[in-house]
């Protein structure tokens, strides 16, 4: 069945030397499905391929079509939220992350991170630091499943001027704990930049 072949290509994309070709192969398989049989899952799969190929507008259309056909298609819900987030439409993305019904522990943790990022981006002032503490504690309770907190690090890098000077030591400490449990060697340049602006406050508080 073309659905299965398409799903296989998607699953195998990161095991191949040319993952984009795998996605194009999956799109080719999906085109073999007769229009009358193109259900919510078909539109989600096509949207996923488009998303990973950098075709964000086409991906969004497919995810929205999937949700019109099946409002609780959980992967379309999640990836529509991600597509909107990538475009900087954080207020619009948040409800989709909130609706996402996930089972894999690392996806649950990542979804919590994304929801907090949306909340931080849409506030003129950063909300209570307890929200970040709660996320850190959640990561620390599930260290084997904790994802790399790339989005949170980039979020606080962009919003650091909103952090009150007297509270920067606390935010910095929480962020360090988050990166420690989730990993993130590729985040070091951003962490170094944050440390340069927040570390003096940290030192002064000791």
pLDDT per residue as tens digits for the range 116-149: 999 999 988 887 899 999 999 999 999 999 999 9
pLDDT for the residue numbered 74 = 92
In percent, how much of the chain has pLDDT > 90?
Answer: 64
pLDDT for the residue numbered 7 = 67
CA distance 111 to 100: 8
CB 3 within 8 A of CB 33: yes
Instruction: Give 151: exposed, middle or buried? Use CB within 10 Å, 0-12, 13-18, 19+.
Output: middle
pLDDT for the residue numbered 172 = 92
pLDDT for the residue numbered 5 = 64
Tokens of 115: 């929801």
pLDDT for the residue numbered 123 = 87
Mark the ranges of the chain whose per-residue pLDDT is less than 50.
1, 202-206
* C-alpha distance across the termini of the chain, in Å: 64
How remote is the C-alpha of 13 from its chain's centroid? 19
pTM for the model stands at 0.86
pLDDT for the residue numbered 166 = 86
């Amino acid at each position: 069945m073309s659905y299965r072949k398409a799903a296989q290509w998607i699953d195998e994309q990161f095991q191949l030397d040319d993952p984009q070709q795998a996605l194009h192969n999956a799109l080719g398989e999906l085109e073999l499905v007769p229009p009358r049989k193109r259900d919510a899952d078909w539109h989600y799969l096509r949207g996923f391929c488009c998303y990973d190929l950098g075709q964000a507008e086409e991906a969004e259309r497919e995810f929205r079509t999937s949700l019109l056909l099946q409002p609780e298609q959980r992967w379309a819900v999640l990836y529509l939220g991600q597509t909107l987030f990538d475009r900087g439409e954080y207020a619009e993305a948040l409800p989709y992350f909130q609706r996402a019904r996930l089972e894999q522990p690392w996806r649950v943790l990542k979804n919590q991170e994304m929801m907090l990022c949306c909340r931080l981006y849409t506030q003129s002032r950063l909300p209570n630091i307890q929200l970040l503490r709660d996320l850190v504690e959640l990561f620390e309770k599930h260290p084997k499943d904790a994802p790399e907190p790339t989005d949170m690090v980039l979020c606080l890098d962009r919003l650091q001027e909103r952090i009150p000077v007297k509270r920067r030591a606390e935010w910095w400490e929480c962020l360090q704990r988050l990166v420690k449990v989730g990993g993130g060697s590729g985040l070091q340049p951003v962490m170094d930049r944050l440390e340069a602006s927040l570390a003096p406050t940290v030192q002064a508080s000791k």
